[in-house]
Amino acid sequence: MSQPRVAVVTGSTSGIGLAIARALAARGDTVVLNGFGEPAAIAALVAELGAGGARIEHDPADMSEPDQIARLVREVEARHGRIDILVANAGIQHTARVEDFPPERWDAILAVNLSAAFHLARAALPGMQARGHGRIVNIASVHGLVASVDKSAYVAAKHGLVGLTKVIALENAERGITCNAICPGWVHTPLVEKQIVARAERQGLSMDDAQRGLLAEKEPTLRFTAPEDIAEAVLFLCGPAGANITGTTLALDGGWTAR
């Protein structure tokens, strides 16, 4: 086993973030979880991920609050002396046409899906620069590369996140720090499950047919990207093979953007 690294993964008490945290913990890395949840459920996750010997912690910092983000980074560095891996994954969603989009939801989505990644990097980069090493992975979306209707805030935030990724990469290209974005297509989350149910009810389809129809509109492979696929991509980018990969987007989208 290689030397354990110190990793912070935001939005990691469920879904994609949890899969990433699990993969890092399985490698033996120290992982700081972040996200909302019942205390008992979070304690169970900490115990589960740490069962193999990895050190697992949880920090409840709200990704919409810059002061809490700065505190999170400061306290992790104080406890462990460094942050080796920073994964900005936390995200929220709301769908509506532009003229119907509530301004407060626009502001919230931009804060969590885009500004949080800036505040995390801004806080963590000085330490990474001083040590001459760091891996930053921003979990963007296929919607950081292309658009869909009714998702103005999400698309704007994810496009911005891809741009931010490139700037961080360029500014740190000679410092041993890489910054990349992963752009998943459809991932079978509770939000997507609701879309499948709605399609099935609206069109009188079985759940299987509704799911296939949803995928057929966007993903030629007709399969969802699994959270574990995204986790493996993070491990690759943060491992030896990713040492000279920076400023790029890795689309795990089943061919969505190839059309």
Active-site residue set: 154
Residue type, 171: E
53: left (phi over 0), alpha (psi -120 to 50) or beta: left
Residues 6+ apart with CB under 8 A from 167: none
Residue type, 141: S
Q: Tokens 């002396």 belong to which residue? A: 81
Cβ atoms within 10 Å of 42's Cβ, excluding its own: 16
Distance separating alpha carbons of residues 132 and 84, to the nearest angstrom: 10
Distance separating alpha carbons of residues 145 and 124, to the nearest angstrom: 26
Residue type, 146: V
Residues 6+ apart with CB under 8 A from 8: 31, 32, 34, 72, 73, 76, 83, 85, 86, 87, 120, 124
- Residue 69, token pair as written in the block: 């983000």
